[in-house]
A and B are shown apart, each in its own frame.
Chain A
Amino acid sequence: MFRRFRPFAAVAAAISFSIPALAASGNADNAFNPAFSLILSGTYGTLQRDPATHATGFAMNPHPGHGQGFNLSEAEMGISASIDPQFHGAATLALDPAGGVSVENAYVQTRSLGEGFKLKFGRFFSGLGYLNEQHAHAWDFTDQPLVYAVLWENQLGEDGVQLKWLAPTDTFVEFGIEMGKGRGFPGTERAKNGSGAGAAFVHVGDDIGIEHSWRAGLSLHRTRAVERESVNVPDLSGNAVTNLFSGDSRTTGLDLVWKYAPNGNIKERYLKLQGEYFQRTENGDLAYDTAGANVTDSYTVTQSGWYVQGVYQFMPRWRTGLRYDSLNPGIASVGAANSGNIIANYAFKPSRTTLMLDYSPSEFSRIRLQLANDQSRQALTDNQFFVHYIMSLGAHGAHTY
């Protein structure tokens, strides 16, 4: 196997992964050492509205949006291997179709700290929530739920350290804390010593008989934004302005996943239900219209959102799924100086209903059709249609629950 993939091995060596000449012990990762994988993915999208328009009430949040027509998604290149008996390393590089390479993940995880402790450091997806850690190729829908899109810019990536501890109990009980730079939204990257963002989470899970399994989680996240810029924000006079926010950001999340498979055999049929809720309070100062009036006063808002979804594999290779998204922009308390400028109450709750059908010719390929009725922009209903392919080459790493 190794000989066949020599060009890849050369790539891997170039990005400074050592290739230990371990004797093949029959362990999966050693067939390719390091394990190398590439995800090829692309979409065709039909939208009725301008994809650049933000969800109503979330103009100061990220908006990952969708592509129209034929689009190549980022190719995800993954390399992972045991570094030595103590460490495991993994990197995921995203090859942007427009050119350029970005580092999605590049972390080292301890293998033998023991007593249930695991330390991870580098760049990684935060362990908060349920979907946050999953790579795009493992998503059940073509896009992330709205709440992930607006509160985490699809996924919260962190440069930092994560410590997890698994309790020695029969039931799965895991605690995790993270400290990081706070580079991703809602934080802002800034030069300072110490930690820029922190997260803590608890996951509990178990089986009920051989057919049911579940996992529930509680997450907390805190960071600070400094001069976080938002452009094209509508104001009370109907203009689009640029605002800067500086202040504290605290988020609480709840997640629950429940899976059912007859006889526990997921090859045949299974049902997966999940839901997550996030609520974020931001408290600080907002500089309104920095290019014009430039008025700064206090600004506090609590935004929230949730989704529930079900995915059903009704026969081998075929799955269907339904998802409902809802967002609440909250009512902001705006300092007196800006009360005539900033929209405090949008009186609209964005929502979306999504239906998907996918077909997997093998474990390594998937083709999906997705329909969405997007009501996330007031008076701008958008019926969206996507065709999406996801193909996986090379080592197929094990997926998380």
Chain B
Amino acid sequence: MKKILFPLSLLLMSGNAAALNVFACEPEWAALVRLLAPEADLYTATSGLQDPHRIEARPSLIAKARRADLVVCTGAELEQAWLPVVLRESGNGKVQPGSAGYFEAASAVRMLEVPTRLDRGEGDVHAYGNPHIQTDARNFLPVAAALAHRLAQLDPGHATDYTRRHAAFERDWRAALARWEQQATPLKGIAVVVQHKGFPYLSDWLGLEEVAVLEPKPGLEPSAAYLSQVLETLRKAPAQMVLRAAYQNGRPSEWIARRAHINAVELPFTVGGSDEAKDLYGLFDDTLARLLKGLQ
């Protein structure tokens, strides 16, 4: 009897210890956690159809943060409208900013568009740079490395598992990167218009050239007058397509696309932003497929 019970209890114990409770702010980080810690008890706070700047500190989010061992977010002020309240109200000392249970992906990557002038007259600018880092697939390498390290720190009993899975992820991801970059060759130097400044990392990665933004200032809705102005610019310097994220209203893009005779391309932006973007690989497969289609 003892012989059976002992391994059984070991199994139960390891089962309990392994179930790290993870609260992911955005679906892309949830997908990464899924790859590095598949057994984690995972909650995703937002979906690909929500504007990540505009989330409410809902009771359900507070309840989920209360039980988390690790909070994985973009940081760089992306979640400043709701996460500070969620964390404070959660009463969970383990996941407060500055503690080991609080992980910001943005701190692992090189930030773009760090403003030299911080003034609300410039719209909703983020002091630490543009927070939409997940549109450059290369950024997942440093984030995964930092996250695997953090997982191992929080759950030392499974440190070797995290290291092993991270090594596998890095190998697979580098292979995928090579494939995506190969596919993206025709996109290099292509002029694009963006609806919101959500794609500087994507453009930086694939060599797209952003010639205009539909929002007059970050976070401000494009007005008819401003769109006409953009249209005038496009008449002089044409672009190939206009990009928007799945969560954004399609009207401004469609308006410009019709008049400037260019393609309006909706990108998934994160996991779950389209039917094809089921995981991180699907996210970039679909992003590239849609961009390449936009060239036609």
> Which A residues fall within an 8 A CB radius of B?
1, 4, 24-29, 31, 82, 85, 88, 109, 111-118, 164-166, 168-174, 203-207, 210, 213-215, 259, 263-268, 316-317, 361-364, 393, 396-401
Contact = CB atoms under 8 A, between A and B. Distances in A.
A112 B96 CA distance: 7
Given A113-B91, A116-B66, A205-B59, A267 B51 contact: yes
B113 interface: no
Contact of A400 (B49, B57, B75): B57
B118 A4 contact: yes
B221 A317 contact: yes
A215 B46 CA distance: 19
Contact of B80 (A172, A174, A267, A398): A398
A370 B21 CA distance: 47
A264 B91 contact: no
Q: Identify the interface centre among A26, A165, A174, A398: most chain B CB within 10 Å of its CB.
A: A26
20 contacts: A25-B107, A26-B128, A111-B93, A112-B99, A114-B93, A115-B91, A118-B88, A118-B91, A171-B60, A174-B59, A206-B59, A210-B49, A263-B50, A264-B46, A265-B51, A362-B123, A397-B84, A398-B80, A398-B82, A400-B85
Contacts of A213: 56, 58-60
| Interface residue range, chain B | 35 or more
Interface string B251-269: 0000000000000000000
A109 B93 CA distance: 13
Given A207-B60, A401-B58, 6 more contacts: A1-B118, A25-B104, A170-B64, A172-B63, A267-B53, A397-B84
Interface in B74-128: 75-77, 79-85, 88-94, 96-99, 104, 106-107, 118, 120, 123-124, 127-128
B63 A171 contact: yes
Contacts of A88: 88
Contact of B219 (A174, A215, A362, A399): A362
Contacts of A206: 59-60, 63
Nearest to B77: A28
Nearest to B117: A4
3 residue pairs, one from A and one from B, having the closest CB atoms: A205-B59, A112-B93, A172-B59
Contacts of B76: 26
Q: Identify the interface centre among A1, A31, A213, A267: most chain B CB within 10 Å of its CB.
A: A267
Contact of A401 (B57, B128, B220): B57
Nearest to A262: B49
Q: Identify the interface centre among A203, A362, A396, A397: most chain B CB within 10 Å of its CB.
A: A362
Given A25-B107, A397-B84, A363 B124 contact: yes
B55 A266 contact: yes
Nearest to B64: A170
Contacts of B59: 172, 174, 203-206, 213-215, 401
Contacts of A168: 66-67
A27 B88 contact: no
Contacts of A393: 120
Contact of B91 (A26, A117, A364): A117
A400 to B, nearest CB: 6
Given A172-B62, A398-B57, A264 B220 contact: no
B16 to A, nearest CB: 15
A131 B66 CA distance: 24
A168 B97 CA distance: 20
B98 A85 contact: yes
Contacts of B84: 27-29, 397-398
Contacts of B53: 267
A361 B221 CA distance: 8
B49 to A, nearest CB: 4
A113 B91 CA distance: 7
A100 B220 CA distance: 36
A88 B88 CA distance: 9
Nearest to A118: B91
Contacts of A397: 84
A364 B76 CA distance: 19
A228 to B, nearest CB: 34
Interface string B232-251: 00000000000000010100
B274 interface: no
Contact of A26 (B49, B99, B107): B107
A90 to B, nearest CB: 10
A174 B60 CA distance: 11
Contacts of B82: 398-399
A265 B53 CA distance: 10
